[in-house]
């Protein structure tokens, strides 16, 4: 999986944010929203089939999170830390290269 482009940010904020609870849980450092992983409540997850993919970027364009990145060859990469399992990508994919499968944790 390709690395999140926010990796450095996440690490920096994670460090500062976890050091001390502030009064009123105020967040003093910008960018902290990326620290909170929002993939935890997913029920279905997108399963990607590279063979069917035509690299049209529709999934990438429509993902509301956005939890899809493109790798060097412009294939979609799913970031399951933030994918909420809405299934929009699967719905938009013209070649049915994405299938939503039930996820067990």
Binding site for another protein (CB under 8 A): 21-28, 30, 32, 36
Give CA–CA dist 49/20, Å, rounded: 43
Interface residues with ligand SF4 (CB under 6 A)?
46, 53-59, 63, 65, 67-68, 76, 78, 83-89, 92-93, 95, 97-98
Backbone φ, ψ for residue 103 (5° rounding): -110, 135
Comparing CB distances to another protein, the nearer of 1 and 26 is 26
Comparing CB distances to ligand SF4, the nearer of 36 and 95 is 95
Q: Is 79 exposed, middle or buried (0-12, 13-18, 19+ CB in 10 A)?
A: buried
Contact 40, 98 (CB under 8 A): no
CB of 98 to another protein, least distance (A): 28
Binding partner selected for residue 26 from another protein, ligand SF4, none, CB under the kind-specific 5 to 8 Å limit = another protein
């Amino acid at each position: 999986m390709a690395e999140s482009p926010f990796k450095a940010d996440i690490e920096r904020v994670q460090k500062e944010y976890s050091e001390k609870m502030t009064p009123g849980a105020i967040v003093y450092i910008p960018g902290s929203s990326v620290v909170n992983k929002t993939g935890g409540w997913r029920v279905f997850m997108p399963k990607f089939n590279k063979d069917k993919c035509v690299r049209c970027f529709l999934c990438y364009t429509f993902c509301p999170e956005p939890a899809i990145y493109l790798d060097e060859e412009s294939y979609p990469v799913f970031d399951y830390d933030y994918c909420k399992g809405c299934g929009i990508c699967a719905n938009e994919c013209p070649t049915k290269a994405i299938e939503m499968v039930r996820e067990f944790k």
